[in-house]
Structure 1
Amino acid sequence: MSPSILLLILSTAVVVALLSIKRIPEGTVYTLRRFNGQARTLQPGTHLIWPLLERVVHRISLTGHVLAIDELFPVGTSARLAGKVFWQVVDAERADASIDRAESLIRARVLNVARATDDPAGETPEVRNSRLKAALNESLRDVGIVVTRVQLALA
């Protein structure tokens, strides 16, 4: 075997070996998907993967996220529901299917829960935020997401 072919084979083997090592940082979970659709989740740490068979689909941050809300909210007269919703992923395997649309999902559920009350202008902000947080956590439990704090006001 010629030295150039041997060097090419050795170089390819080194590149494949380096590509098979994945370092997942703390506070992050990676979801890998194979070509046949099979998925697996990698927790923080160093892992070996199949570089040509598996690819990283999602990098899910387990630290907190902030969703800004500023929506029209009809309460007799037109008012705005404005503020922030703080959320985080608690179960990456369940959240994997909906992580790409998590913010729109939370936004829609905030508006649905807020519109479901009879007299939103009569509630104090603390009562409204507590009620919203409880209702959101109840509806997002199956998705693997938890709302940690709601700071919304009618303006």
Structure 2
Amino acid sequence: MIVQEQFVSIKAPPATVERYLTDPQLMMEWRSPLVVLDPIEGELMTLGSKHKLRLKSLALAGSTYTVTERDSNHILLTIDGLWRGQELWRWFADGDRTIVQNRVEYEVPDPSLRVFVVGLGQIFASLDMRIQLDRLRMLIEGKGQPAAQAR
């Protein structure tokens, strides 16, 4: 089992952070450009919704993410496809800040793909996770201008 986990502290209330983590338009501002989210069923990040997450570098290959738990403090997604496991987004108040946790636990059943993921893929995925959380923080704190306003 591969486990990747990152945290970020954001100067904003939990409700604001939740909006950025769940609103599809806002997500486009901070999510990695290497990741494509294709809706399958339901509205993105709502309980029971499904979407396909694929990496641009793997073309059409990817995994289905299903929101299996959802409340005002966390989202748990079950992953099934090229990689299998769970992704957790959790956020909670810490004074005037909100701590955001992103934790992914997964396995890669395909031996040839697993070799890549355990090697370079894991390093790049961890870096990409860190960059996304930093972009989320900068966007919410007003230190990064959303692309929609920059045009």
Same fold per superposition (TM over 0.5):
no
Higher relative contact order (CA 8 A, sep 6+): 2
Q: Larger radius of gyration, structure 1 or 2?
A: 1
Structure 2-normalised TM-score? 0.25
